[in-house]
Structure 1
């Protein structure tokens, strides 16, 4: 479920000097070419909004959770630190979802990839029982009606084929396997690459999937539910 949350991300400089510290981790303002999230911060914010689970407790009144983390030279998130906690498991949840995000485009100093540390306050709303729905992600065997794409699965495959484009397309061989969650409102989230064929194929299918129209969500007992959808795309000769 995409929670109706307001997330405010404000990047905070952790240092003002161009020289790297002893552990060779640059700050956001000090590095020459800054790390960036594929598709921009709008997509990163969307990832957080879709995956951050706030405490289901009436005493949780929300607040600002101050977090920082390192984008390493591979683009992975590491060394997540909690600079200011607000309790109710918010710190553990931030540590869980940040390393699971899609890999970033690494920062550079003197044209070389370097580690960069970011810091930001994450503003979380108070728990609202009225917005609480079934968070369980159902598989095909658990639901009464499968999720579907407007026009059917073939229309979805045509949309993917029309928009998928990488320079090394002819080098791809095998099955690119991915999954995503169809939310109760028909949007898709939690995109995961199960089998990446390289040459940028994984990042490209993520980009294409974000162009998708809203799906017709799965149903269980007459109600829309979250469901897991998996799909392979075949390339070359097997």
Structure 2
């Protein structure tokens, strides 16, 4: 696509939604597997991932690939932890988003549900083998070696959502739109469970987003140490008239 200078300049001044860009921002997390491992390695605060429990922060990845403009939707209890998170994320370098052939500013989101595995080890209570096995079976991972994936990849997932989403009539009549953030568990057999909204827009849109997620086909489950495990996953569902 060839744009005139005025159109190109207008696009460059905007911050584009991540689901609208042709190519989303990408990073190798400075050699780490994901942003959680990066933060754990770079932070000066012990057990920071656990202290980030429930933290939800919007930001912008600019046209140079820098993480900027932090806006907390859910803030850690300790302001120092929030400041340290900003510092660590600000160290990341992304390959910027592409929109209509241009590198652009892109909206981005980070969500942290806490990682109890990073707490200092405590003396273990005496438990039976059955109890120990049950604890392993019930544990839900937030950070894993191999993340769960939708059959066909992320592009196929968003296509599935787009093709199956039904705009609620009342919300359409009232011109309600926005992005609903949904959290769920991908079970070891790939089924979806525990679907919940973590960033609401409107009750009707929230319910429709949850309906589509609940009806997804089975996923490829997460793996830890080569074994299928239960894992959390987060998906934004965008409603736009």
Give the TM-score taking structure 2 as reference length. 0.41
Q: Which has the higher helix share?
A: 2
